[in-house]
Amino acid sequence: MKLPLPALVAAASALLAFPATLPASTLVHCGALIDGVSDAPLKEVTVVVDGDRIARVEQGYAAAGAGDSVIELKSATVMPGWIDCHVHLDMQTAPNMLGTIVTSEPGDYALRAAYYARKTLLAGFTSVRNLGDHEGSTLALRRAISLGMAEGPRIYTAGQALSTTGGHADFTDGLAHRFAGHPTIDDGVFNGPDEARKAVRQHYKDGCDLIKIMASAGVLSIEKSVQNPQMTEEEIRAVVETAHDYGMKVAVHAHGNEAIRRAVEAGVDSIEHGTYMTDEVIALMKQHGTYYVPTISAGRFVAQQASVPGYFPPMIVPKAMAVGPLILATFQRAYQGGVKIAFGTDTGVSAHGDNAQEFVYMVEAGMPPMQAIQCATREAAKLIGDEKNIGTVAPGRYADLTAVPGDPLADISLVRKVSFVMKGGVVYKNP
């Protein structure tokens, strides 16, 4: 049968449009795979990567086709790229931090953020929530990483943390009045519900992914208390309602129990630190579905450094010594109370690149290793709200993979020995 001319033309065009060879894939042969979905590791599987996404997961070690590349990780445990839900990429705690703050220019913060971001990526963390920066450093870094101009994790940034006058993120605390002036929304300081709404809208305009507020006092700020509430429930509720209207989540720094209670009642998405939360507030968090981000690493770090003469100003030392030992016990009670937990370290207080130590602390506190890993994969992705792209090894997700030698379920300390990192299909570390 002779085909009509239009059909012949269409068939010829289709043949010409079809590539001569299919695009090459990367085959990752995994001795064990913790996929973030299953509660037990899968053995001897292949993760097939096409471009920056995972195409499929196959049982057994698939043979390479023409042009395919193979990454052999048969003696390793492969996991979804880890997610740290609480970092500060443009800083790292050191003596005389106040002096560093008042002498740093925007470029200093941006360069520090880029340096620490690469360390974070090589430590196995392919995504982070940056909960407070300076001079928009992580907004700029997020763009640079997306354009391939810098190496680092996928950044979900809150921009500058928001505080009230004299609060934990009022960086003029401790300065003489003639230098401090009167910080405003442009400085991350608001007072009252109306200013709270305006501050959130400005952060949205600036391109922030979420909002971070300081609902209680803190450890490293120049203030006496670590517990007192520093925002009214009306102010917190104004932040939450406005942020949710704009599609942004709200993370809340809170040590004191009353500040935590107000934040949970106002509908926030996560409580960071939570040191002094009571069993009643733990039950309230479970009822509201509020995530807890424990940051045990920061608590341990400040308690250790508080014993070093001159490391912290005298006002900070007793706060650091009090909070440090309590955070681990709070984590234990929150875990036993059934609160949803996402992995977060507050790195920038502790040293960048040491983020994985948090896994060890979580397991020391009684959480099974698999659950600790899930807190840094699927649960962290749920908290961020991007579980369709990150947090699990499944078709369509970003090809973000972290591997360690051996079995971290048998020896959780192996998380500190990351041997392989892939982010978006690009290998950054390979044994």
163 and 91 fall within a common domain: yes
38 and 173 fall within a common domain: no
187-199 average pLDDT score: 95
Half-sphere exposure of 247 (CA within 13 A, CB side): 7
Domain span at 409: 20-81+392-429
368 and 424 fall within a common domain: no
Instruction: Find the CATH number of the domain harbouring 73.
Output: 2.30.40.10
Question: Is residue 166 pLDDT above 80, yes or no?
Answer: no
What is the three-class DSSP state of 139? helix
The answer to the question of residue 4 being in a domain is no
pLDDT one-digit tens code per residue, 230-239: 999 999 999 9
What is the three-class DSSP state of 307? coil
372 and 396 fall within a common domain: no
Residue among 90, 61, 229 nearest 155 (CA): 90
Cα–Cα distance list, 291 to 161, 264, 383 (Å) = 19, 10, 7
353 and 221 fall within a common domain: yes
CA distance 334 to 357: 19
334-362 average pLDDT score: 97
Q: Which two tokens stand for residue 24?
A: 């090459």
The answer to the question of residue 9 being in a domain is no
Cα–Cα distance list, 99 to 93, 171, 222, 293 (Å) = 12, 11, 13, 29
172 and 239 fall within a common domain: yes
The answer to the question of residue 1 being in a domain is no
Question: Is residue 431 pLDDT above 70, yes or no?
Answer: yes
Question: Is residue 115 pLDDT above 60, yes or no?
Answer: yes
403 and 294 fall within a common domain: no
Asked whether the beta carbons of 385 and 129 are under 8 A apart, the reply is no
For residue 121, the model assigns a pLDDT of: 98
The answer to the question of residue 233 being in a domain is yes
What is the three-class DSSP state of 118? helix
Supply the angle between the helices 233-245 and 257-265 in degrees, to the nearest 10. Answer: 40
378 and 414 fall within a common domain: no
Asked whether the beta carbons of 292 and 270 are under 8 A apart, the reply is yes
The answer to the question of residue 268 being in a domain is yes
For residue 418, the model assigns a pLDDT of: 98
Task: Specify the number of domains making up the chain.
Answer: 2
Question: Is residue 156 pLDDT above 70, yes or no?
Answer: yes
117 and 183 fall within a common domain: yes
Instruction: Find the CATH number of the domain harbouring 144.
Output: 3.20.20.140
Lookup result for tokens 């445990």: 77
Asked whether the beta carbons of 68 and 26 are under 8 A apart, the reply is yes
The answer to the question of residue 6 being in a domain is no
202 and 316 fall within a common domain: yes
Residue among 181, 183, 139, 149 nearest 163 (CA): 183
356 and 398 fall within a common domain: no
CA distance 295 to 349: 10
The answer to the question of residue 328 being in a domain is yes
Cα–Cα distance list, 68 to 22, 57, 396, 420, 429 (Å) = 10, 16, 19, 19, 19
200 and 295 fall within a common domain: yes
The answer to the question of residue 258 being in a domain is yes
Question: Is residue 50 pLDDT above 50, yes or no?
Answer: yes
CA distance 353 to 180: 34
Q: Which amino acid is at 250?
A: V
Asked whether the beta carbons of 410 and 95 are under 8 A apart, the reply is no
pLDDT one-digit tens code per residue, 259-305: 999 999 999 999 999 999 999 999 999 999 999 999 999 999 999 99
Place 15 in a pLDDT band, splitting at 50, 70 and 90.
Answer: very low
